[in-house]
Structure 1
Amino acid sequence: MATIEPASSGRTVLPGNPPYTVDDLLKFPDDGNRYELFNGSLLVSPAPTPPHQRIIYRLQRILDDAMPSELEPLSTINLRVTDKNFYIPDLVVVPEDSVESVGLMFSPRDILLAVEVGSPSTTWQDKSLKTIAYASAGIPHYWRIETDEGPALYVYQLSGDNYESPTAYKAGTLAELTAPFPVSFDPADLLLRR
């Protein structure tokens, strides 16, 4: 059994042994951590901070207002790619009809756009691992938001089996995007207070 030392007091003992599978994750305790898998290796991150949640919420509203009615934005869904690859994107856009039929986990074919909001504990994963993982899974669009850059929006588009180099939109500039549907916003708006 693996042992994880959480930020809070005490120890969390996780069932199973590496390499982990999605079935192993389903047996993990609900201890406030977010568990993901990359080739059976465990990725552990704490619950999102309030500024992180604000960005997700603001972007979800922007996307919901701009997208066609047959699409829907959802936050923190379960994404099963393979038995040893499982992710929890901060935000996704899916066809509305898949929401009713999906059950516990979405598959990559359901995802039109995956979004990750960087935080100190996940920036490296979002820049490298998630970029590779989402491209390998065939997710056509990936957006990465870096909070420590004002925030900045990095937009990736799938070309074959890999994403093209990202287009960066810094705070104070208008990101005018056409895919997966037309939407325009300033990344700085993602941190605005009500």
Structure 2
Amino acid sequence: MTTTMEHTRDVLKNWPFPPPGGWEADDLDRLPSDGPNGELDIFKRVELIDGALILMSPQRLFHESVITGLRHLLDTQAPEEFRVTTQFTVKISKNQRPAPDVLVYNTAAAAPDRTFFQPSEVHLVAEVVSPESDYRDRKVKPRIYAAAGIEHFWIISDESGKPVIATYELDPDTHTYDCTGIYRDSFTRSEPFDLEIHFAELLR
């Protein structure tokens, strides 16, 4: 009998062509770090969008700095029932397992062997736009996150080297996001917890 790991190895022989029906969320747990032809760390950072594997390319310093800064600001203000992490997947459906740049999740969901969270465990997802992810971050991922019922979505853009944050909240009736503000200096929020974001601290 063919094991799931053997099946994954067989499918990878045809890389970069997807298997019939596309990749599935559970496939991400069976991918090696290196590619089938010896490509180093090609699957180290990967997400699944609409059944397609998205390999996350090396990012500009702006992208990495904002992710690090935002995680720190959220982490230092989060109450005990919340935790913050970066680039960790959310298993939404059979063919959707995105990896938000920053996410806030339930402390009760934390476990050393977790490889993904369920949407019900996640309260906020944030994406930092890069040139190669612009369309996905602005059009595709908000649709996926909203349909999954994730309450809060932020998108951070680069405006001449300075961050701009647009915040969104879920409309539970339409399962779409409503914009609640666009900020270039600082803002305060009471959801998912009381917090204050000063942009000068994002790029330190």
TM-score range, shorter-chain basis?
Answer: 0.7 to 0.9
Residues 40-119 of structure 1 mapped to structure 2, 5 A cutoff: 40-100=51-111, 103-119=114-130
Q: Which residue of 1 aligns with 2:29?
A: 26
**Aligned equivalents of 2:136, 2:74: Cα separation in 1:** 24
TM-score (normalizing by structure 1): 0.83
**Aligned equivalents of 2:197, 2:115: Cα separation in 1:** 32
Gaps of 5+ in 2: 1-10, 34-40
**Aligned equivalents of 2:84, 2:195: Cα separation in 1:** 13
Residues 55 and 122 of structure 1: is their aligned pair in 2 closer, same or farther, counting only changes over 3 Å? same
Gaps of 5+ in 1: 5-11
8 A contact 1:78–1:87 mirrored in 2: yes
**Aligned equivalents of 1:27, 1:70: Cα separation in 2:** 31
Q: Which residue of 2 aligns with 1:174?
A: 186
Structure 1 residue 166, shift from structure 2 partner: 4.5
Higher Cα radius of gyration: 2
Give CA deviations for 1:94-119 in whole Å, capped at 9, x if unaligned: 11111128722111011011111111
**Aligned equivalents of 2:116, 2:165: Cα separation in 1:** 27
TM-score (normalizing by structure 2): 0.79
Query: How many correspondences in the alignment?
Result: 183
**Aligned equivalents of 1:48, 1:17: Cα separation in 2:** 31
User: Secondary structure of the equivalent of 2:135?
Assistant: helix
8 A contact 1:153–1:187 mirrored in 2: no
Choose 80-89 or 100-109, whichever is displaced more: 100-109
Structure 1 residue 17, shift from structure 2 partner: 4.2
Residues 28 and 47 of structure 1: is their aligned pair in 2 closer, same or farther, counting only changes over 3 Å? farther
Q: Which residue of 1 aligns with 2:5?
A: none
8 A contact 1:141–1:157 mirrored in 2: yes
